Structure 1
Amino acid sequence: MNEPITVLLIDDQTIIAEAVQQMLASEPDISFHYCNNPLQTLKVVQTCRPTVILQDLVMPQIEGLLLVRLLRSSDAPTHQIPLIVLSSKEDPVIKAQAFEYGANDYLVKLPDRVELLARIRYHSRAYTNLLKREEAEALLRQENEEQALYIEQVNKITDAAFAVEQNQFEAKQLDEVVDRQDELGQLARVFTQMVKTVKVREAELERLKDSLARFFPEEYLQFLRKDSVIDVQLGDFVSKTMAVMFSDIRSFTTISENMSPRENFDFINAYLKRVSPEIRNHYGIIVKFLGDGMMAVFPDGADDAIAAGIAKHQRVWEYNQQRLARGDRPIRIGIGIHVGHMMLGMVGESNRIQGDAFSDNVNLTSRLEGLTKVYGSALLITGQTLEQLSNPEAYDVRFLANTIVKGRTEPISVYEILNAEVEAMRTLKLRTLPQFQQGIAYYQDRALTEAKTCFEQVLSIHPDDRMAQLYCDRIDALLSQGIPEDWQNVGSFESF
């Protein structure tokens, strides 16, 4: 079946149009259109869309060769439509100019019907094939562009997957792909939603991790040699020699009497949030909070523990400046530190576990902290702790007594670290240190009268020295009751 042919004749002579129409009338595949005004050519072309144009060269409205040039201009819709020029005579010069201006063919009118049909069919077929070829090429270009875009957008999904791996993915990276209505677009939408879901879950897990870390800190995991809290099991423990610290607030019951339960919580948390970081800052682990106090261990020993204790007292001093400015009562804390072998691990039952430390040394440290109230000291350590210090000369240390704490039969040597005292107290204790040490020496030699004189000298300068007063009271009791034969200058926890 032949392709449809549309012929447009441009000629001012109606008689020529009738003749051409008659030549073509018997051809079912050819439709004929006529334009008698060459100035209306482009308008008629838009209406009939010819596959071949027949144009007369002699018309009153416009010079024929000029019309050829206009129809062949690159921006004209007739630029590629085959153009057969009709002339009244065979003129080589005019024919050459017509071809030069872009005409496809040249006929002397009126041409033979057979020849005219042949030329119309030839040029129309060539034009139709040209359109088909251009359409095919356009379609191929479109397919190539779509394929290139498809590959580009596949690469975008690949890049997005890599960005997810690098934690740099943003949903806008796939905006163009998501808008596709094919499988690739569906993949991009599913991928984006999956990443969003994963991000939400990661954020939830991060919050959960942060929450768990508040109950089970990272340093605890490292100490137990665990990668994650989910690896921790009931009964996990580490056994080694460590420094242990107990601390609490002096006279907390008295302070809290006039507080509501909410005020008590706020007060305790205000205190703990200031002092607790100093444990971590000095490589310690908070084992547990004990109301207004806490228990902590320092795996690397005494130096870290004492540095942390001094820092805690500094934070309390700073907190007290704020409390005094508000008209609140200042607080004091007591700290006891001992070094010994202990087990730190997880205790409880299958549905509830927590960290704890076990050892006679732990109990001893708890009793030592209790002695801070009796001795009026800010920070007490044992002789064993002092021996473990890498540089004991860095601290101002005052020996207090050999004493037996509750639960033990062997006496321990007790020292106080004066660096933890407030400046005024520290100054007075350092000022009276020679008299205090001399009093201790007399006391240990049973020269009680001379010892009391030394302690009274201390009290004359520093009336609030609780330890000097305790020695005076103890000496008075010994002088009135007599010195026991088995006396070894050792006191007890309840009464020095």
Structure 2
Amino acid sequence: MEPAIVARGGFVDSYIGDAIMALFEVAPASAVGAAVDMHRQLRPLNAQRVARGLRPIHIGVGLNTGELTLGTIGGPQRIKCGVIGDCVNLASRIESLTKHYGARVIIGDRTLAAVPAGAFVTRELDRVRVVGRLAPVVLHEVLDADEDDVRAAKVACRADWEDGLARYGEGDLDRAGASFRRCVEAVPGDVAAAMRLRRCDRYLTAPRPDPWTDVEDLSEK
């Protein structure tokens, strides 16, 4: 994983358990490219593991763009070089959501805005309010990290996906659910589509927010 980061102009800040914290001083597109490269470089290893009867390794990458403080942090008993900042915390929250949405790479709206249009194939995933933040965050999935057939299938049903998002934003849950159901049928392994469909079904049978909002409040970090 580290070579993919370094090759795109980034550097590893720290290893935290099974996680990597990496920083990119260069354009955000380099960070997105590194995230895609990490998944592509993992494919040969996973092919070998599957051939040996082992489970493939799955990783999720979350990216955010913003200002931070880099330097020596700590007190008399212990100091370390590291980074602090709200954008760092949000990047960590975004990474944790990759499992929730079944997405390989998720980027925040600030990162997407800083990437040249058309550089990557993306789709809006959700609008959420993470724990500890009042302002909602728009999450986007980078489809370039998917296997070719999965990416092609998601792109093919983009019209249904975007219609589902629009209908959901309007509070038209019947039509939103119908659109998301078509996405699930087109891409059976699309965790995000199945989740959006369940959300529509939930609000059709239970009290919905009043006034209606398409922003989902997350209760876990």
TM-score > 0.5 by shorter chain: yes
Tell me whether 1:296 sits opposite 2:15 in the alignment: no
Matched, 1:406 2:131: yes
Distance in 2 of aligned mates of 1:493 and 1:423 = 31
SS at match of 1:341: coil
* CA drift at 1:352: 5.0
CA distance in 1, matches of 2:161, 2:97: 19
For 1:280, give the aligned amino acid.
V
1:309-349 deviation digits (Å, cap 9, x = unpaired): 01111111121112122221101100000001111112234
Counterpart of 2:29, as a letter, is D
Deviation at 1:395, TM superposition (A): 0.9
Distance 1:325 1:484 in 2: 49
Q: Is the Cα–Cα contact under 8 Å of residues 371 and 493 in structure 1 kept in the other structure?
A: no
Per-residue CA deviations over 1:357-388 (Å, capped at 9, x if unaligned) read: 10011111100001101011000001111111
Answer yes or no: is 1:460 the counterpart of 2:161: no
CA distance in 1, matches of 2:107, 2:4: 18
Could you tell me how far 1:355 is from its partner in structure 2?
A: 2.1
* 1:33-52 pair list within 5 angstroms: none
The residue aligned with 2:202 is 477
Contact 1:283 1:298 in 2 (8 A): yes
428, 439, 457: which one aligns with 2:153: 428
- Residue 276 of structure 1: how far off its partner (Å): 0.8
Offset at 1:350? Answer: 5.2
Tell me the TM-score normalized by structure 1: 0.43
Q: C-alpha distance in 2, partners of 1:341/1:315? A: 29
Q: How many residues align?
A: 220
**CA contact under 8 A between 2:177 and 2:197: conserved in structure 1?**
yes
Q: Amino acid of the residue matched to residue 484 of structure 1?
A: P
Unaligned runs of 5+ in 1: 1-274
Q: Deviations 1:375-420 (Å, cap 9, x if unpaired)? A: 110000011111111x230211101111011221110000000001
Determine if the alignment matches structure 1 residue 318 to structure 2 residue 44. Answer: yes
Q: Deviations over 1:57-109 (max 9, x none)?
A: xxxxxxxxxxxxxxxxxxxxxxxxxxxxxxxxxxxxxxxxxxxxxxxxxxxxx
Residues 383, 412 of structure 1: 8 Å contact kept: yes
1:339 corresponds to 2:65? yes
Q: Secondary structure at the match of 1:328?
A: coil
Bigger Rg, which one: 1
Contact 1:301 1:339 in 2 (8 A): no
Higher helix share: 1
Shift of 1:493: 2.7
Moved more, 295-304 or 341-350: 341-350
Aligned partner of residue 127 in structure 2, secondary structure: strand
CA distance in structure 2 between the aligned counterparts of 1:451 and 1:423, rounded to whole angstroms: 27
Alpha-carbon distance between aligned partners in 2 of 1:425 and 1:492, rounded to the nearest angstrom: 29
Taking the TM superposition and a 5 Å limit, the aligned residue runs for 1:156-235 are none
Confirm or deny: 8 A CA contact 1:317 1:422 kept in the other structure: no
| Identical-residue share of aligned pairs (%) | 32
State the Cα deviation string for residues 3-48 of structure 1 (Å, max 9, x = none).
xxxxxxxxxxxxxxxxxxxxxxxxxxxxxxxxxxxxxxxxxxxxxx
Q: How far apart, in 2, do the equivalents of 1:401 and 1:468 lie?
A: 11
CA apart distance, 1:478: 1.1
Distance in structure 1 (CA, Å) of the matches to 2:39 and 2:101: 17
Query: Post-superposition shift, 1:351?
Result: 6.9
Using the size of structure 2 for normalisation, the TM-score is 0.94
Question: Is the counterpart of residue 444 in structure 1 residue 175 in structure 2?
Answer: no
Partner of 2:86: 360
Which residue in 2 is equivalent to 1:220? none
Aligned to 1:309: 35
Question: Distance in 1 between the 2:218 and 2:82 partners?
Answer: 25
Question: In the alignment, what sits opposite 1:385?
Answer: 111
In the TM superposition, residue 427 of structure 1 has moved relative to its aligned partner by: 2.1
Cα displacement (A) at 1:483 = 2.8
Distance 1:342 1:357 in 2: 7
- Partner in structure 2 of residue 158 of structure 1: none
Paired residue secondary structure (2:60): strand
Which has the bigger relative contact order, CA under 8 A and spacing at least 6?
A: 2
Q: 2:98 aligns to what?
A: 372
Deviation string for 1:235-273 (max 9, x for gaps)? xxxxxxxxxxxxxxxxxxxxxxxxxxxxxxxxxxxxxxx
Closer/same/farther in 2, CA of residues 483 and 349 from structure 1, 3 Å limit: closer
Cα deviation for residue 438 of structure 1 reads 0.9
Q: 1:475 to 1:446 in 2, by over 3 A?
A: same
Where structure 2 has 5 or more consecutive residues not aligned to the other structure, the ranges are none
CA distance in 2, matches of 1:415, 1:443: 17
Whichever residue aligns with residue 200 of structure 2, its letter is: I
Deviations 1:106-127 (A, max 9, x none): xxxxxxxxxxxxxxxxxxxxxx
Q: 2: CA distance between counterparts of 1:301 and 1:405? A: 26
Which whole-Å CA distance do the structure 2 matches of 1:426 and 1:461 have between them?
Answer: 12
1:414-463 Cα distance to aligned partner (Å, 9 max, x none): 00000011223212211221111111111111111011110111111112
Q: Does residue 329 in structure 1 map to residue 65 in structure 2?
A: no
Distance 1:307 1:353, change over 3 A: same
How far did 1:476 drift?
1.3
AA aligned opposite 1:411 = P
Distance 1:457 1:400 in 2: 16
Q: 1:491 aligns with which of 196, 207, 216?
A: 216
CA distance in 2, matches of 1:321, 1:349: 46
